[in-house]
Amino acid sequence: MPISSPIGHLDSDCFYVSAERVRFPCLRGIPVGVLGNQGACVIAKSYELKAAGVKTRVPIWEARKICPEAVFVKRDFRWYEVLSRKMLDVLADVSPLVEYYSIDEMFFDASELPRVFGGSMREAALQLQQRMLQEVGVPVSIGIGESKTMAKLGSDTSKPFGVHTLHELTDKQRFDYLKSIPVGELCGVGRRSQAKLEQHRIFNCLDFIRADSKFIQNLLTIKGEALWYELQGESINKIATSRPPHKAISRGGSLGGKTAIAKQQHAWAVRNVERLIEAMDFHGVFARKFSLSLERPNDYGWGGHVVLSEPTNSFKLLCAVFREMLDRSDSRDKAISHMHLIAEKLSYRNEIQRTLFETTYSTHDGRPITESPIDQLATLKQQINQKVGRFAIRSGETLHLPEIYADETNDYDICDVQGKMCF
């Protein structure tokens, strides 16, 4: 097997619950669930709650029936980000390269661990695990291997609070280990890919690497071939210390239930437009293509898009664009449970020539929507919100969602945590 610089993967155990237990120690040792938008569904659970039979996305009223003694708290992504950044600081102190993969997962160059902590790689990883627990208060699992794929497999299979140093295995130990991992456990192999592989009698990771690499490429594209090499111990996907430029920016998610009321659906669209523009402003981009995706409970979804003649971030124009798409989505009198707004065909603002004149977008029914080169009201709203607080000033159309803005947990979402490689 090829030898390369060891890569580590650190994954927090039940991160949202663990973060709540840092500030509320009374939650330790009991079943705990973290609730999502409007406290409707369980988005994270402790091992105790999982053992009781509660699954992710179960409504709170069902979870209470399954586990009456459980404690449920609303999510607080601002607090979770504080601990996440602290974890990054600890890793940066012991590793020359750290990748902020997600709010609770980091890849890192593990080559310096034995020097920093002393002892073998495994002993050093155990000391890092203890340091993270002592300084941050969050239990983590750590995997170390020759590639990111192997490192992540190591942390996944060592949970909870375990350490796997896969790069130190003998060939026989490695083959036995890969044979024990179903191919569907590989990061990047979804249900459809798993089904394709199983049709060709590839059921575990050992079957996967024993297949021909070109066959895997034909079956799962070049991404599948990269996984094949990574499982062989060749590092294809390097540690990225900064996030590459976005190809698309999206905002939205669960509505915390469902609604068939047109005014509420429009209000959700406007709320997400404000969030989308906020994200575009943060990254300094305009967009030309805008897509809307809707999900309905126990029904098919709907998707549509509009491509504009010029890139924009105009609040007035985007509200009209998404409102029109919503109106022609045949969603009237039909309940919606999820809504996603996506901006694509991005352009950096300092790389495009803006017009000095008004531009017009014609809606589906022929109504013209005029965009001014400088939206003074939107600019003023942005300036005030930056000083006073997020959503201090917002569109009047969002008044149909009073419970959302009254609940502080809705002020900050997981997608507002910047710098992560995913989500």
Predicted confidence (pLDDT) per residue in 52-96, tens digit: 999 998 999 999 999 999 999 999 999 999 999 999 999 999 999
Contact 167, 6 (CB under 8 A): yes
Q: State percent of the chain over pLDDT 70.
A: 93
Q: What positions carry a catalytic annotation?
A: 105
Q: Which residues lie below 8 Å from residue 422, measured CB to CB, with a gap of 6+?
A: 101, 102
Q: Which helix (H) or strand (E) holds 42?
A: strand 42-45
Q: For the structural domain made of 249-416, what CATH number should be given?
A: 3.30.1490.100
**Sequence ranges of the domains in the chain:** 249-416
* CA–CA gap between residue 325 and residue 132 (Å, rounded): 47
DSSP string, 339-395: EEEEEEEEEEGGGS---SS-EEEE-TTS-EEEE-SS-HHHHHHHHHHHHH-TTSS--
Contact 271, 401 (CB under 8 A): yes
Most confident of 34-48, 80-94, 247-261: 80-94
Q: Which residues lie below 8 Å from residue 30, measured CB to CB, with a gap of 6+?
A: 46, 48, 69, 70, 71
List of E strands, 185-328: 249-259, 285-295, 302-312
DSSP string, 127-149: HHHHHHHHHT---EEEEEESSHH
Contact 206, 214 (CB under 8 A): no
Tell me: the pLDDT tens digits for 323-364?
999 988 876 678 999 999 999 999 998 877 666 555 555 555
112-126, 364-378, 386-400: least confidently modelled range: 364-378
Tell me: the pLDDT tens digits for 6-18?
999 999 999 999 9
Q: Which helix (H) or strand (E) holds 164?
A: strand 163-165
Contact 313, 286 (CB under 8 A): yes
CA distances from 10 to 128, 207, 398, 409 (A): 10, 26, 40, 27
* CA–CA gap between residue 107 and residue 55 (Å, rounded): 27
Here the tokens at position 199 are 């049709």
Question: Taking each helix axis from N to C terminus, what angle separates 77-92 and 121-135, rounded to the nearest 10 degrees?
Answer: 140
Per the DSSP assignment, residues forming a β-bridge with 336 are: 259
Cis peptide before 31 (omega within 30 of 0): no
Higher pLDDT, 174 or 37: 174
* pTM confidence score: 0.89
- Average pLDDT of the chain is 91
- The pLDDT-based confidence of 2 (bands split at 50, 70, 90) is very low
Q: Which DSSP category does 317 fall into?
A: H
- The pLDDT-based confidence of 1 (bands split at 50, 70, 90) is very low
- The pLDDT-based confidence of 368 (bands split at 50, 70, 90) is low
Q: Checking DSSP bridges between strand 7-12 and strand 105-109, what pairing results, if any?
A: antiparallel
